[in-house]
Amino acid sequence: MSLIQPQPAGATTTPEIYAPPGRITFDPWLVIAFFYPLTQLLMVELGGQLYLMDFAGIVLLGFMIRQPGSLQRLAQIRVLLIFMGLWLLCQVATDIYRSIPMEDFLRGWGRIIFFAIQVCALWLFLPRDRNYILAFGFGLSIALVFNVPENFIESPWKFGYAQGLMMFTACLLSVPSRLTNTLREFAPLIFLAVAAFLLTKVARSAFAISTMTAGVCLAFVVLNKFGNAREAMKPWMFALLLIGGIGATGILTTVYENAADSGALGRDAQVKYRKQSGGDLPLLLGGRPESLISVVAIQDSPILGHGSWAKNRRYLEMYRTLRIRWGIDFPKTQYVKDRRIPAHSYFFGSWVESGIFGAIFWLYAFTIPLVATYWLLKRGRVLVPLGALLAISMVWNIPFSPFGATERFTAAFAIVTLLAIIKAARVKRGPGELLARNRRSRPAAYPPYAPAQ
């Protein structure tokens, strides 16, 4: 028997939630949405790092796929799933061609498969109710704080605390209430305050992400003041806003470089800046010279990759020489100890290991936050802070962050939330109804989809 109630005869094609007027019931799925991301705090070693959340994803997907309409819902993201499938096939072909050891190819295949499971499970679950998305975000913010990798425990703000703080702030500002409705008007200032605080913790990436999120929120607030300006916004206008944002980011980088080099941001920031800006290497690449080695590895094998957990001493020596030449420290990170080909990017890392279809998948994924930001500015309201943070984070992480152990959970949440925002906006409801929760009281049974309520 389905947990989803059938619609009465004559009802509209959009599923609704039916309950006696005034009846208020407990929704256990809200609790599940909150605790679900916390399961990533428990890890097991099974030929690689697996988390309780990986197994929870299998259970959740198994339950959700049995619900009416699930296949139709998955069909809505078929392009994403097709590219993900091609990514996996390319990885399998590469590993067979390169004769990659079983221990390594199981890690590589498993990472893609479990990532796909999370995307499918969350897509069938979270978009049913905006509050599920918020509950998941609050849970994820806690998980980020308590899941700092042991190798980076000396820099907790850079590798966990900062991301948790930004996620919590964005979710809090996205909660529908009279207080947060007022605070949402000040979201640009709040994110700028968070950015300033993170700068004191030398969490530069988080500082940049929080600052750019403030910029998106500011654009929303300004457009919202001009009546029909949001609905009248065209793609070319959004492109101009993007160009302006890129210019502002360049100015921000220059200001940071001058402040850090002068010591105005403290001794730690000054030392770190000078270490990562040796020679003529730009600051952005100074912190990520792995990307330059990734480009060389890609040129050597652009179609098929170098294999799961690709190891090659030649590229590692090239990486070491590059850092020494530019006066940058050569850290003994885990992939250096494992002799892996250096990569510091979702995009480059997938291309190096999997081949061309790994790159194509992330190129497609890169368009999702851009399209979602356009629709947030055009029709969003309540979820703007969270949507803006997730969009900016994806735009940053795809080219500049490694697809590490728990990144598949954060990336899956970001992709699902941003796709839900896009789908809801295209329903063409009012600007204040993007992913709004059904105002009727709900039964305890699992609710059906109610797009853009």
pLDDT in tens, 348-398: 999 999 999 999 999 999 999 999 999 988 887 778 999 999 999 999 999
Q: What length is written for the chain? A: 453
SS3 195: helix
- Using the predicted structure, report yes or no on whether residue 50 has a pLDDT greater than 60: yes
Using alpha carbons, select from 89, 187, 239 the residue that is nearest to residue 388.
187
Task: State the chain's maximal CA–CA distance in angstroms.
Answer: 74
Question: Is the model more confident about 170 or about 208?
Answer: 170
Q: Are 84 and 361 in contact (CB under 8 A)?
A: yes
Residue 269's pLDDT is: 61
Secondary element (H or E) of residue 115: helix 102-125
How many Cβ atoms are within 10 Å of 196's Cβ, its own excluded? Answer: 12
d(CA 93, CA 98): 9
Q: Are 428 and 10 in contact (CB under 8 A)?
A: no
Give the model confidence (pLDDT) of 260-269 as tens digits: 666 666 666 6
Enumerate the domain spans of the chain.
28-425
d(CA 283, CA 271): 13
- Using the predicted structure, report yes or no on whether residue 11 has a pLDDT greater than 60: no
- Using the predicted structure, report yes or no on whether residue 18 has a pLDDT greater than 90: no
d(CA 233, CA 231): 6
51 contacts: CB under 8 Å, gap ≥ 6: 39, 40, 41, 42, 43, 44, 405, 406, 409
CA distances from 325 to 112, 287, 322, 332, 341 (A): 36, 15, 5, 17, 19
Using alpha carbons, select from 178, 170, 191 the residue that is nearest to residue 384.
170
Chain centre to alpha carbon of residue 364: 14
Task: Give, as one character, the DSSP assignment of residue 128.
Answer: G
Pull the structure tokens for residue 270: 């000054």
Give the model confidence (pLDDT) of 286-312 as tens digits: 556 777 888 889 999 999 999 998 888
Residue 29's pLDDT is: 92
pTM assigned to the model: 0.84
Give the model confidence (pLDDT) of 76-106 as tens digits: 999 999 999 999 999 999 999 999 999 889 9
